[in-house]
Amino acid sequence: MTGVGQKNGVAGVGSSGGSSFDGTDGVESFPEVPYSKSDFNDGKCSGNIGPEDYGSNAGNVRNCRLVGLLDLDQSKTYVRGKIIGYLNNLIDIGVAGFRFDASKHMWPEDLGAILDGMKNLRQDVSTCNSGNKQMYAPLEKYIVKKTKKLRATFNRPASTMLIELL
């Protein structure tokens, strides 16, 4: 989940919105959330996802870094709680839906737990771009569980998969 849960594009020391952070490899301190080094997947894999991993190694795709970006460990109850709290706050202020970008980089059980903890949303259309249907297949049961309706269309070129939630 880009920017919230999966691959957040932060590296080095900086600040945003009045909050400071240190995304330096090995430090990974975000005191305003707070997230610390132990909240990231470095213990499982601190390297990058390799191109060959997409066809053969779901563990690396879901635990390793995408082009060096920090990767939150969504299997941790604390991390899930922070993500769920943030998303529910957005729902409370009127956000009607979310795009879970790069969900193939998320463990289906983690996405399921996050969806289960979220308040109900409208049923809208979402797109996922991938040439690997097998990476998304485990996610379908969680999407179906949350929305109660799912129609997956795989008649596009191999580079595109469209999931319509009707």
pLDDT in tens, 59-86: 999 999 988 888 999 999 999 999 999 9
- Render pLDDT for 14-58 as a digit per residue (tens, 0 to 9): 877 788 888 888 899 999 999 999 999 998 997 899 999 998 999
Choosing among 3.40.630.30, 3.20.20.80, 3.30.300.30, 3.40.50.300, the CATH entry for 7-164 is 3.20.20.80
The predicted pLDDT at position 133 comes to 53
pLDDT band at 139 (very low <50, low <70, confident <90, very high): low
Domain boundaries, the chain: 7-164
Of the candidates 106, 90, 156, 107, the residue with the CA atom closest to the CA atom of residue 129 = 156
Which pTM was predicted?
Answer: 0.68
pLDDT band at 160 (very low <50, low <70, confident <90, very high): very low
CB 21 within 8 A of CB 32: yes
Q: Which comes out higher in pLDDT, residue 130 or 117? A: 117
CB 134 within 8 A of CB 104: no
Write the Ramachandran bin of 84: left for phi over 0, alpha for psi from -120 to 50, otherwise beta.
alpha
Calpha distance 118→116 (Å, rounded): 6
How confident is the prediction for the chain on average, in pLDDT? Answer: 74
The predicted pLDDT at position 134 comes to 52
